[in-house]
Structure 1
Amino acid sequence: MRLHRNLCFSVIDGLTLIFNEGKYADKVIQQLLKRDKRWGARDRAFVAETTYDIVRWKRLYAEIAEVKEPFNRDNLWRMFAVWATLKGIKLPDWKYFEKTPTRKIKGRFDEFSKIRKFRESIPDWIDNVGLEELGEEKWTKEIAMQNEQADVILRTNTLKTTKEKLQNILFDQGIETEPIKGYNSALKLVERANVFVTDAFKNGFFEVQDASSQLVADFLDVKPGMKVVDTCAGAGGKTLHIASLMENKGQIVAMDIYESKLKKLKVRARRNGVHNVELKVIDSTKPIKKLYNKADRVLIDAPCSGLGVLRRNPDAKWKLEPEFLDRIRETQQEVLQQYSKMVKPNGKLVYATCSVLPSENQNQVEAFLKSEAGTNFSLVKDKKVLAHTSGFDGFYMALLERKG
């Protein structure tokens, strides 16, 4: 591979924003890809994948390059040189790469690869938490899988088409997919492609949604005609899936504390042909109290550490702090206590997170069931999804039923 100066400069600019200014990697990469209209698919892929790669392996590359935060541009070029050397890419004769110790880089890589926190490039505290909660063997496998590039998974919008028809439509547009056993609506891309420019996407035939995330709506056991509340709807991936399972019949109340996210859901719902969703901003306790004892089904897709989806958000591990984990556990229990009151007698509730930590998952459910608010509920079943055993995102979901 030959390195092109303008592409490499874009990567360095992006890393400066992500590491030194705390910008979100996905937003930065979106901006970078708009820089030069002459870039082809290969150029754009280089910028996106190289930036994500160096973000993912920040700690390892910084240790090998012997640089410390905050990184100046020279530091970032040294980390870039580490990335290129480990990829077997010949460094061009640029001033940024003068005196790059290629042999030393490979030696230091071998040395650091013996220590998990460097090998998997994670902060000490995350390594300690994972070890404490999952144990040595499970955590070692899980965090290794979280550094693999995630597959692109589509969820067929069954309001508009079938999985088989969608597969044929995409094939005609040069995109090959394959079904995933045990996932009713899922198709996996055989090779990465920009699916958002396809007519199939613009016509609302599918959404991009990981296979593990697709399990949640199925777990909720919805039926057409029900009243369902999605309490932490965000931009609505699971809301839209629920709507398709309900065949657009009944009512879904999609709630979130962020109005901006619900506006995105409104746009997506229109594209998906979904018209049984009512949007509600949680700006006080009033919208929640109005729904007490009203819902057949309630989904709590709770805010969490996101340690099950680091493959998709590699910069999250550098933004997370131990204090956040403590706060989020409190929030999780609070939303369980409050939002569970929306479930009517004989109704059901699903509590879900994209974390792999028991303290955010089954421990929260157990604490809720022992509390006063949880005395009327019983655990029907739960599911723990680990990335290293499933091949998809780490997830947790628990189905609870309110007694009659």
Structure 2
Amino acid sequence: MNTQNRRPNMRLHRNLCFAVIDGLHLVFNEGEYADKVIQQLLKRDKRWGSRDRGFVAETVYTIVRYQRLYAEIANVKAPYHRDDLWRIFAVWATLKGIKLPDWKYFTDTPSRKIKGRFDELSKIRKYKESIPDWIDELGVKELGEAEWTKEIAMQNEQADVILRVNTLKTNKADLQLKLQSEDIETEFLPNHPSALKLKERANVFVTQAFKDGWFEVQDASSQLVADYLDVKPGMKVVDVCAGAGGKTLHLASLMENKGQLIAMDIYESKLRKLKVRARRNGVHNIEMKVIDSTKPIKKLHGKADRLLIDAPCSGLGVLRRNPDAKWKLQPEFIENIKKTQQEVLEQYSKMVKSGGKMVYATCSVLPSENQEQVQKFLTTETGQEFTLVKDKKILAYKSGFDGFYMALLEKK
């Protein structure tokens, strides 16, 4: 954490601080998801301006991100009482150089001791980057000390807001101008043909450009996945872990709305969200199928020109976006998810026809979920029909964007 961005002249407002404390209680003690909690909090008071809402969102996210470090300095243990949460909040404020008001919650905050403890603990990676021991050990084992140290530090930086232009409706230059007219400044990103990066964070969902379906919010690394699949208009393409469809919509625009795009997922609720997004994007070549048995998969055996497997994973490449995930993850989850990844590769790859291609992708940085899974698959009976064309490992500290992996395989 950088204490460089100190804001000593900032005044704390009681109702905003209460909102932060309530939010932390929900995330830490009730196990709720940080992004959902923040959405609720931001609706709390109609009179809050964008700076107030920004304060609540950023403060909750920062404290969630550095929970272990702050709790250690505050000398409190989970589950946290309200007094404990105020002590954690006081640590955050002190390190930011904010003068604490004389509220009862702050009566005996030991400011000097806090700074001393911060300097001490910052020498130990698992405190400095605020991660559970087991994740730290796993990262070192898989990436090596030097690489892991840089990667986990980057995973604590706030992620940029990246847009993907919807080429079915517009182009990058026009989108840039349209957003400019709504006071949002963006810049192009080299090597990311459809991406615009916001120069400053803003709520892009209220813009006319968004309502008109000119763009989606999608990280730059994630945007490379659909490109990797090498789709052409008129093909039969299957996205088998479509979720709410960020990559599906990208595929649709690369296919110019021509051909057949089948979006599949085990969760019907996610596909319903995709339906809404597809309508806004002006996409009409998507067919949605819930995977509620093996039937929908078997029906497509040997039929797909292209298959995208955006596999379920640990999400260790996207902690910048989901900082609470590191507290929710359990070691056994990682073991189970690797089995799932093998099963998904084994079962779904049968949909690819001869000469067809598939991409296996994850938002993890662990080789055991990535290249090792692909190598393992290639030795199985099903996998022997495929060859690895190329793969790409994206680490956040090198790219500045999310950690990702993608492998392109071709069926002989």
TM-score (norm 1): 1.00
Gaps of 5+ in 1: none
Q: Does structure 1 residue 254 correspond to structure 2 residue 267? A: no
For residues 228 and 202 of structure 1, the distance between their equivalents in structure 2, rounded to whole angstroms, comes to: 27
Equivalent position to 2:49, from 40, 60, 63: 40
The alpha-carbon deviation at position 165 of structure 1 amounts to 0.3
Question: What does residue range 197-212 of structure 1 map to in structure 2 within 5 Å?
Answer: 197-212=206-221
2:230 to 199, 221, 228: 221
Query: CA offsets per residue over residues 272-317 of structure 1, 9 Å max, x none?
Result: 0000000000000000000000000000000000000000000000
Give, as a single letter, the amino acid of the residue that structure 2 aligns with 1:282.
I
Other-structure match for 2:287: 278
Match of 2:389 in 1: 380
Distance, in Å, in 1 between the alignment partners of 2:25 and 2:378 is 46
**1:228 is matched by which residue type in structure 2?**
V
Whether 1:268 aligns to 2:251 is: no
1:335 positional shift: 0.1
Deviation at 1:135, TM superposition (A): 0.1
Residues 276-315 of structure 1 aligned to structure 2 (within 5 Å): 276-315=285-324
Percent identity of equivalent pairs: 80
Cα RMSD of the aligned pairs, angstroms, is: 0.3
Displacement of 1:145: 0.1
Give the Cα separation in 2 of the matches to 1:15 and 1:281.
Answer: 35
Letter in 2 for 1:324: F
Distance in 2 (CA, whole Å) between partners of 1:32 and 1:281 is 33
Matched, 1:55 2:64: yes
CA distance in 2, matches of 1:95, 1:323: 42
Of 162, 167, 177 in structure 1, the residue corresponding to residue 171 of structure 2 is 162
Matches within 5 A, 1:310-349: 310-349=319-358
Corresponding position: 1:21 with 2:30: yes
Q: Equivalent residue for 2:137?
A: 128
How many residues are matched? 403
Distance in 2, matches of 1:352 and 1:294, equals 21
User: How many angstroms does 1:264 deviate by?
Assistant: 0.1
1:150 Cα deviation (Å)? Answer: 0.2
- Decide which of 77, 99, 109 is 2:86's aligned counterpart: 77
Cα-to-partner distance string for 1:384-403 (whole Å, 9 max, x where unaligned): 00000000000000000000
Quick one: which of 153, 160, 177 aligns to 2:162? Answer: 153
| Shift in Å, 1:28 | 0.4
Secondary structure at the aligned position of 1:375 is classed as: helix
Q: Which residue, out of 103, 114, 135, partners 2:112?
A: 103
Q: Which amino acid aligns with 2:279?
A: R
CA shift at 1:260, angstroms? 0.3
How far the C-alpha of 1:244 sits from its partner, in A, is 0.2
| Shift in Å, 1:378 | 0.1
Q: Distance in 2 between matches of 1:378 and 1:264?
A: 35
In the TM superposition, what is the alpha-carbon distance from 1:251 to its structure 2 partner? 0.4
Which residue in the other structure is 2:14 paired with? 5
Q: Which segments of 5 or more consecutive residues in structure 2 lack a partner in the other structure?
A: 1-9
1:268 alignment partner, SS class: helix
Q: Which amino acid is 2:380 matched to?
A: S
Partner Cα separation in structure 2 for residue 10 and residue 329 of structure 1: 38
One-letter code of the match for 1:103? R
Determine the structure 2 residue equivalent to 1:366.
375
Tell me what 1:177 maps to: 186
- In structure 2, give the amino acid aligned to 1:28: V
User: Deviation at 1:206?
Assistant: 0.2
**Which string of whole-angstrom CA distances, capped at 9 and with x for unpartnered residues, describes residues 219-243 of structure 1?**
0000000000000000000000000
Q: Distance in 1 between matches of 2:293 and 2:105?
A: 54
The whole-number CA distance in structure 2 between the counterparts of 1:112 and 1:375 is 50
Secondary structure of 1:397 counterpart: strand
Task: Report the secondary structure of 1:253's partner residue.
Answer: strand
Letter of the 1:79 counterpart: I
1:383 aligned partner, one-letter code: K
- The offset of 1:138, in angstroms, is 0.2
> Of the candidates 48, 64, 69, which is equivalent to residue 73 of structure 2?
64
CA distance in 2, matches of 1:37, 1:203: 26
Once the 2 structures are TM-superposed, how far is the Cα of residue 154 of structure 1 from its aligned partner? 0.1
